[in-house]
Structure 1
Amino acid sequence: MAAPEAGLALSVAGLTVQAPDGRRLAEVPALTVAPGSSVAIRGPSGAGKTTLLHALSGLVRPASGRVAWGGTDLAALGDAALTRFRRDRIGLIFQDFLLFEELGALDNAAIATAFLPRGQRLALRQRAGTWLDRLGLGQAGVRRADSFSGGERQRIAVARALANDPPVILADEPTASLDRASADRLAVDLAALSRDTGRTLVVVTHDATLAARLDRVLTMAEGRIVEDTHG
């Protein structure tokens, strides 16, 4: 597998995310993350963890402030440019997998080929297959997604997020729907992805085992970062 682009640095300044009614959902005066490092975001439900992650990915627009990956300010991008940036630079892993049940593992992991020029599709499909193999699902490419266990489904979602070789991985509660053994295996996989490939990894999680494997833990409460611990 070709080496991916080095992880991007994150810089957040004066960030405020509000609900439509004006309530403050998250407020981060300043945050920096070194390229290639791994960060867990923890805290009780409703603390603003997922809101912050969505702001970091550009899925929600902040009321004010700056989120920059590798010097690119997401707020300065129009909708089309932001979509392209997220497609090319950010791999997203969701708690609920979001797989197409009627498709096989490989077709799910390579689903982005549907949105690429024909000349780029084969390379992405090959990368998706390589990641499935690395994550232990190399022999399951044609099995329908609805035949897989929760742990297998999440690994398909990880392969999908990595198929385009993004320098940044953002994951929202990736172990929440898994049994303990599957969660522990995924924790090892995610930590290794950042350590071995140089990707920048940010994970929202309640899982202490996963958080302990990462370089840094941010704790949130009432929309603010209240503790910043380095491993």
Structure 2
Amino acid sequence: MLMSAQPLIQLHQVRKTYNPGLPNEAEVLHGIDLQLNAGEFIALMGPSGSGKSTLLNIVGLLERMSAGSYHLQGEEMVGLDDGGLTLRRRKLLGFVFQFHHLLPAFTALENVTLPALMAEGRVSTAQRERARELLDAVGLSAALDKRPSELSGGMQQRVAIARALVMNPPLVLADEPTGNLDSASSDEVFVLLRRMHAERGTSFVVVTHDPRLGARCDRLVELIDGQTARDEAVVRADGALGPSEPLRR
């Protein structure tokens, strides 16, 4: 896949300290450098407490860094007020979490259109049609009017993936998206993420504890104790780069 000349995200010497100046002060990120180009599919790995979720929250504009620089599509995020961060988060980023966080009173279609409703106060005909197309793409065209309680765990996570893509963001951040699923559903969801990446060109950063899933990404970034321990392309057993599974529907 072609990469753009300008990095999609670029972090330089990012640090995060909780409770600064207090007796329980703790620095959890110690000068992280990270560049992600458009079209990449990255696994972010490391043991519990290594700083993965904190880093993902900073990239996702959900937390502010304590020091460093973060450029998103060439624009420096440091110094933006909360409204500016919210605007860019809604426009440029999609999120998939370990727990799907679907609204129980909303149908699948209504849950997918929720980001458009929050961003613009209404859902246009075009956005509703895009939501329908995404639910079809994730294999849920027959479940548009079903509520989360009527769907399996894997199906609920597929709704969450469609929701993350409805605003057509260049980057999707997935925090343990298969961590709450059985192995069969986990494989199904991961292959779906890979297919969305291949067909739509969306970039992904996927936090996972599962080395089996990490080995099926294009690039592996490993954090240990708040520092980058490894950042390298994934090489398959046959010597090729990237994943080997079919991008099935």
Task: Report what 1:187 is aligned to.
Answer: 190
Relative distance call for 1:61 and 1:136 in structure 2 (3 A) is: same
Q: Give the equivalent residue in structure 2 for 1:84.
A: 87
Distance in 2 separating the partners of 1:64 and 1:22: 15
CA deviations on 1:33-80 (whole Å, 9 max, x unpaired) are: 121111101111111100000011110000001111210222132111
Equivalent residue number for residue 3 of structure 1: none
Structure-1 residue corresponding to 2:163: 160
In structure 1, the partner of 2:12 is 13
SS at structure 2 position matched to 1:161: helix
The aligned residue for residue 150 of structure 2 is 147
- Describe the superposition over 1:139-198 as per-residue Cα deviations: whole angstroms up to 9, x where unpaired: 101111111111011111111100000011101000000111111011111122222222
- The reply to whether residue 38 of structure 1 matches residue 38 of structure 2 is no
Q: Residue 105 of structure 1 aligns with which residue?
A: 108
Letter in 1 for 2:166: A
Match of 2:199 in 1: 196
What CA distance in whole angstroms lies between the structure 2 residues aligned with 1:74 and 1:86?
11
In structure 1, runs of 5+ residues without a counterpart are: 1-5
- Contact kept in structure 2, 1:187 and 1:213, CA below 8 Å: no
CA, structure 1 residues 8+128, in 2 after alignment: closer, same or farther (shift >3 Å)?
farther
Unaligned runs of 5+ in 2: 235-249
Report how many residues are paired. Answer: 226
Distance in structure 1 (CA, Å) of the matches to 2:17 and 2:186 = 32
Larger radius of gyration: 2
Identity among equivalent positions (%) equals 35
Question: How far apart, in 2, do the equivalents of 1:116 and 1:58 lie?
Answer: 16
Contact 1:175–1:207 (Cα < 8 Å) also in 2: no
Aligned pairs (5 A) from 1:165-176: 165-176=168-179
Query: C-alpha distance in 2, partners of 1:197/1:158?
Result: 13
Provide the rounded CA distance (Å) in 1 between the counterparts of 2:17 and 2:92: 25
Please point out which of 206, 210, 213 is paired with 1:210. Answer: 213
Residue 239 of structure 2 aligns with which residue?
A: none
| TM-score, normalised via structure 1 length | 0.92
Q: CA RMSD in A?
A: 1.8
Q: CA deviation at 1:119?
A: 7.2
CA contact (8 A) 1:12 1:28 kept: no
Deviation (angstroms), 1:12: 0.5
The 8 Å contact of residues 125 and 163 in structure 1, kept in 2 or not, is answered as no
TM-score normalised per structure 2:
0.86
Give every structure 1 segment of 4 or more consecutive aligned residues whose post-TM-superposition deviation is greater than 6 Å.
Answer: none
Whole-angstrom CA distance in 2 between matches of 1:25 and 1:123: 43
Greater Cα offset, 129-138 or 114-123: 114-123
Partners in 1 of 2:144 and 2:184 — Cα distance? 22
* Partners of 1:184 and 1:68 in 2: CA distance: 33
CA contact (8 A) 2:9 2:35 kept: yes
Shift of 1:27: 2.4
1:73-109 deviations in Å (ceiling 9; x for gaps): 2213211111010001000111111111121111111
